[in-house]
Structure 1
């Protein structure tokens, strides 16, 4: 029996659902480890984030996304895993692309949790 591992993601920003094309990315860990010598490593905290390729629909919530500084982002992956990012805000320079009708968004936040 096959198991679904990928496909369309569902993303909500403070309860408002975005239309996405399936491209969602979230970190699996909240730290980055690097070996110093065998058996010893250093650890660095990572900023929790969620990257989303959203469809630039006529009702796209531009103002909400651009002005939000304490949003809750929920991303449901097709494999059943859910990533919740709290204290979220937009980073980088999101822009609407007329050619393919999408907007690449990156949200950074205070805490990211897999459920």
Structure 2
């Protein structure tokens, strides 16, 4: 029997639901490892983050997202996995695209937890 692993995702930012068109991404680890020599590696901390492509709907919480510096972002993947990012804030230069009405968003935060 097949199992559903992709499809519609659900994102809430401080309780406000965003409409997502795709491109959801969350890190599996809180560290970045790099091999120095076979069997030896170095490790750096990786900032927890969430990336997504959202639709710029009429009720899009523009002010709350651009001014928020301690938000909770919950991303529910269609396979049932949930990633919660706390202490979150928008990073980069998010911009609304007129041709398809989307926004590429990246939230970095203090702590990311898979549930």
Which residues of 2 match residues 1-115 of structure 1 at below 5 A?
Answer: 1-115=1-115
TM-score, structure 1 normalization: 0.97
Distance 1:42 1:96 in 2: 38
- Any stretches of 5+ residues in structure 1 without a counterpart? none
Task: Give the Cα–Cα distance (whole angstroms) in 1 for the partners of residues 53 and 110 of structure 2.
Answer: 21
TM-score scaled by length of structure 2: 0.97
Aligned length: 115
**Contact 1:6–1:78 at 8 Å: present in 2 too?**
yes
Runs of 5+ unmatched residues, structure 2: none
Deviation at 1:38, TM superposition (A): 1.9
Q: SS at the partner of 1:2?
A: coil
